[in-house]
Structure 1
Amino acid sequence: MTTTTTTTDVRAAAPAFAARPAHRDPNVLRWTGAFTASTLGDSVYYLALSWSAVRSGTPGQAGLVLAVGAVPRALFMLAGGVLADRLGPRRVVIGSDAVRALLVLGLAATLFLASPGLWALAAVALLFGVVDALFLPAVGALPPRIAAPDQLARIQGLRGLAQRSGAVLGAPLGGLAVAVGGPATAFGVAGLLFALSVPLLCALRLGPPPPKAETAGQGGGGAFAELVDGLRHLRRNRIVGHLMVVVLLSDLGFAGPLNVGLALLADQRGWGAAGIGWVLAGFGTGAGAASLLLTVRGRVPRAGAVCGVTMLLGAVSIGALATTGRLPVATAVALSIGLLAGLSGALCNALVQTACDPAYLGRVSAVAAFCSLGVAPLTFPLTGAAIGVWGLGPVYAVSAAVCALCGLYTLAVPALRRAELPAPPDRPARGTR
Structure 2
Amino acid sequence: MTVTAVEAPERPAHRDPNVLRWLGAYTASMIGDSIYFMALAWAAARTGSASGTGLVLAAGSIPRALLMLGGGVLADRLGPRRVVIGSDAARALLVLGLAATLVLTAPTVGVLVAVALLFGAVDALFLPAVGALPPRISPPGQLARIQGLRGLAARGASVIGAPLGGVAVATGGPSLALAAAGVLFALSLPLLLSLRIGPLPGPVKDGGTPAESDEAPADTEGTPNAWQDLVDGLRYIRRHPVLGPLMIVIGLSELGFVGPLNLGMILLSEQRGWGAAGMGWIVAGFASGAAGSALLLAVRGRVPRAGLVMCLAAFVGATGIAALAQVPSVALAAAAAAFVGLVGGLAGALCGALVQTAADPAYLGRVTSVSTFFTYALIPLSYPVTGAAIALWGTGPVYAVSAAVCATGGAAGLAFTALRRAQLPR
Residues 286-327 of structure 1: per-residue CA shift (max 9 Å, x gap): 001100100000011111111111112101111111110110
1:37 is aligned to 2:28 = yes
* Structure 1 SS opposite 2:11: coil
Is the partner of 2:312 in helix, strand or coil?
helix
Contact kept, 8 Å, 2:256 with 2:405, in 1: the verdict is yes
* C-alpha deviation, 1:18, in angstroms: 8.0
Number of the residue aligned with 1:233: 236
Is the Cα–Cα contact under 8 Å of residues 93 and 139 in structure 1 kept in the other structure? yes
Q: Which residue of 2 aligns with 1:341?
A: 344
CA–CA distance in structure 1, aligned partners of residues 341 and 321 of structure 2: 10
Query: Contact 2:304/2:424 (CA < 8 Å) preserved in 1?
Result: yes
Instruction: Please tell me whether residue 351 in structure 1 is matched to residue 354 in structure 2.
Output: yes
Q: How far apart, CA to CA, are the structure 2 residues paired with 1:18 and 1:235? A: 36
Letter of the 1:183 partner, please give it: P
Specify the alignment match of 2:396 in structure 1. 393
SS at match of 1:301: coil
| 2:408 aligned to which of 405, 408, 424 | 405
Q: Is the 8 A contact 2:44 2:107 kept in 1?
A: no
Task: Deviation per CA, 1:125-155: give whole Å up to 9, x if none.
Answer: 1111110000010011100000011100011
How many equivalent residue pairs?
Answer: 407
After superposition, give the CA deviation of every residue in 1:352-406 in whole Å (9 maximum; x if it has no partner).
1000001101001111111122222232111122222222111111111111111
Asked whether 1:213 is paired with 2:215, we answer yes
Distance 2:195 2:341 in 1: 31
Alpha-carbon separation, structure 2, partners of 1:62 and 1:421 = 44
| Residue 282 of structure 2: aligned partner | 279
Q: Is the 8 A contact 1:37 1:194 kept in 2?
A: yes
Q: Deviations over 1:54-96 (max 9, x none)?
A: 0013110111112222111111101100000000001100111
Q: Is the 8 A contact 1:212 1:218 kept in 2?
A: no
**TM-score (ref. length: structure 2):** 0.92
| C-alpha contact 2:47 2:107 (8 A) present in aligned 1 | no
Point out where structure 1 has 5 or more consecutive residues left out of the alignment.
1-15, 424-433
Matching residue's letter, 1:193: L
* TM-score between the two structures when normalised by the length of structure 1: 0.91
Distance 1:220 1:186 in 2: 43
Please say if residues 218 and 225 of structure 1, whose CA atoms lie closer than 8 Å, have aligned partners that are also in contact.
no
Structure 1 CA distance, aligned partners of 2:71 and 2:29?
18
Identity over aligned pairs, percent:
63
Q: Pick from 67, 75, 88: which aligns with 1:76?
A: 67
**Aligned-pair distance for 1:120?**
2.3
SS of the residue corresponding to residue 221 of structure 1 reads: coil
Deviation at 1:214, TM superposition (A): 5.3
- Whole-angstrom CA distance in 2 between matches of 1:220 and 1:271: 57
Is 1:288 aligned to 2:291, yes or no? yes
| Contact 2:169/2:176 (8 A) holds in 1 | yes
2:61/2:381 contact within 8 Å kept: no
Query: 1:287 touches 1:342 (CA, 8 Å); kept in 2?
Result: yes
CA–CA distance in 1 between the matches of 2:163 and 2:314?
Answer: 32
- Evaluate the alpha carbon distance shift between residue 136 and residue 170 of structure 1 in structure 2; reply closer, same or farther with a 3 A threshold: same
Q: What is the identity, as a one-letter code, of the residue corresponding to 1:307?
A: M
**Which residue, 148, 163, 181 being the options, matches 1:157?**
148
Matched, 1:148 2:139: yes
1:418 aligned residue: 421
Provide the secondary structure at the position in 1 that maps to 2:262.
helix
Alignment RMSD: 1.7
Correspondence 1:323 to 2:314? no
Name the SS of the counterpart of 2:347 in structure 1: helix
Amino acid paired to 1:410: G
Matched, 1:94 2:85: yes
> What one-letter code is carried by the residue in structure 1 that aligns with 2:359?
C
Tell me how far apart the structure 2 counterparts of residues 218 and 318 of structure 1 sit (CA, whole Å).
Answer: 46
- Residue 209 of structure 1 and its aligned partner are, at CA, apart by 5.8
Preserved contact between residue 44 and residue 53 of structure 2 (Cα < 8 Å)? yes
Q: Distance in 2 between matches of 1:17 and 1:376?
A: 44
CA distance in 1 between counterparts of 2:264 and 2:112 reads 29
CA contact (8 A) 2:99 2:178 kept: yes
Does 2:305 correspond to 1:314?
A: no
Q: Give the equivalent residue in structure 2 for 1:3.
A: none
Does residue 267 of structure 1 match 2:258? Answer: no
What is the identity, as a one-letter code, of the residue corresponding to 2:130?
Answer: V
Structure 2: runs of 5 or more not aligned: 1-6, 202-212
Find the partner of 1:303 among 306, 330, 352: 306
Per-residue CA deviation, residues 99-139 of structure 1 (Å, 9 max, x unaligned), is 11111111111222232523322221111111000001001
